[in-house]
């Protein structure tokens, strides 16, 4: 029963963690949240601030966690190279479970992503994968911190006797401020700047990605899948791709976004025009927009992650996923991708973060 479920959400201020936390709280769970810094989260029954790279500090902080029954690991730490990514991110998970040595854990979920199929930052897309990405695909050769995270999870699950699930979303869409990988907010800021300045709203990525079939993952859908896997015995000990359930091409979605903001979708110039270069003066322009429209005064670099959207939109290979594992077990949640974006845009307007 829900009243006996105590969730520990690791990375609770990010996209996947915050949406999972809200859903679990709505379902009657006790929600304990963890992040590096103190945080006031409306869905959290108690918050723990801990640096998971520090084993002693983590163990001490987790004494306040209580009788955790379910762990949702929704964070990672980017390092200078993949060897360090592997070392640090595996250490973080190990320190967490070591700090929960006495907790009555029944299930632990790990959120990773499509670098499972595409390769690490250092080896990204060097091997062209089969699409749609299959959950049964073997691991790629070489270092990959997602594999290292999985291996620690598998080890701990076997040692402690709890079940596990691994969730592999594509590009995450949702509302959160300060997240380093947030395409919907980034594109809302870009469109607002183009509307304010009269600059062309040009698709900034590669021609291959502009025309390819692709998909994305709404954070609300990921939260539903996390809850489903944690409470469905047949879903134990399996990996799950996670996407909205529809596919699209950016040739279509770019026009949809332009229409929402009441601007023209500029003709594609035939080659990438990365946002990082286009938006070099973004903070100055954004300050003008904030003053003109009386918006919340949030620095543009806390809203937009130009580099991450450039990476996603600049890919030169097709990326979309197959969800056989969860579909065959009865997980049938679906989310319209257009609404994934426009719902975030609506919330940004309602909170006076972008102009109406």
- Catalytic residue numbers? 115, 146
- Which contacts of 286-289 are long-range, i.e. CB under 8 A and separated by 24 or more positions? 286/189, 286/193, 288/196, 289/192, 289/193, 289/196, 289/355
* Pair of tokens at residue 81: 């190279």
Q: Which helix (H) or strand (E) holds 83?
A: helix 82-99
Nearest Cα neighbor of 22 from 227, 179, 186, 166 is: 227
Inter-residue contact 164 to 93 (CB < 8 Å): no
- CA dist., res. 141 & res. 136, Å (int): 15
Phi and psi angles of residue 38, each rounded to the nearest 5 degrees, phi first: -60, 145
Dihedral sign for Cα atoms in the order 355, 175, 342, 318 = positive
- CA dist., res. 155 & res. 259, Å (int): 49
Inter-residue contact 300 to 210 (CB < 8 Å): no
Three-state SS at 331: coil
295 half-sphere exposure, CB direction, 13 A CA radius: 23
Inter-residue contact 150 to 317 (CB < 8 Å): no
The residues facing 238 across adjacent strands are 165
């Amino acid at each position: 029963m829900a009243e006996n479920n105590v969730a520990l959400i690791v990375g609770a201020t990010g996209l996947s963690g915050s949406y999972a936390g809200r859903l679990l709280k709505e379902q009657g769970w006790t929600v304990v949240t963890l992040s590096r810094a103190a945080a006031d989260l409306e869905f959290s029954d108690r918050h723990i601030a801990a640096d998971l790279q520090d084993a002693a500090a983590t163990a001490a902080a987790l004494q306040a966690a209580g009788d955790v029954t379910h762990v949702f690991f929704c964070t990672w730490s980017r390092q200078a190279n993949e060897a360090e990514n592997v070392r640090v991110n595996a250490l973080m998970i190990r320190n967490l479970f070591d700090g929960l040595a006495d907790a009555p854990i029944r299930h632990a979920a790990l959120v990773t992503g499509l670098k499972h199929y595409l390769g690490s930052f250092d080896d990204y897309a060097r091997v062209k994968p089969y699409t749609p990405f299959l959950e049964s695909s073997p691991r790629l050769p070489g270092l990959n911190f997602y594999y290292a995270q999985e291996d620690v999870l598998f080890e701990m699950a076997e040692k402690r006797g709890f079940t596990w699930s691994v969730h592999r979303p594509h590009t995450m869409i949702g509302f959160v401020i300060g997240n380093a990988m947030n395409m919907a907010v980034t594109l809302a800021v870009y469109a607002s700047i183009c509307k304010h300045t009269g600059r062309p709203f040009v698709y900034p990525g590669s021609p291959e990605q502009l025309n390819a079939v692709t998909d994305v993952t709404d954070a609300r859908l990921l939260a539903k899948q996390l809850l489903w896997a944690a409470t469905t015995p047949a879903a134990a000990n399996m990996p799950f791709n996670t996407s909205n359930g529809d596919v699209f091409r950016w040739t279509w979605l770019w026009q949809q976004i332009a229409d929402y903001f009441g601007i023209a979708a500029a003709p594609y110039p035939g080659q990438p025009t990365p946002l990082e270069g286009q938006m070099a003066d973004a903070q100055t322009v954004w300050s003008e927009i904030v003053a003109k429209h009386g918006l919340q005064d949030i620095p543009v670099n806390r809203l937009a992650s130009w580099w991450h959207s450039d990476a996603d939109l600049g890919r030169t290979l097709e990326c979309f996923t197959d969800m056989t594992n969860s579909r065959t077990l009865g997980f049938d949640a679906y989310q319209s991708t257009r609404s994934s974006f426009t719902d975030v845009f609506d919330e940004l307007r309602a909170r006076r973060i972008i102009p109406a």
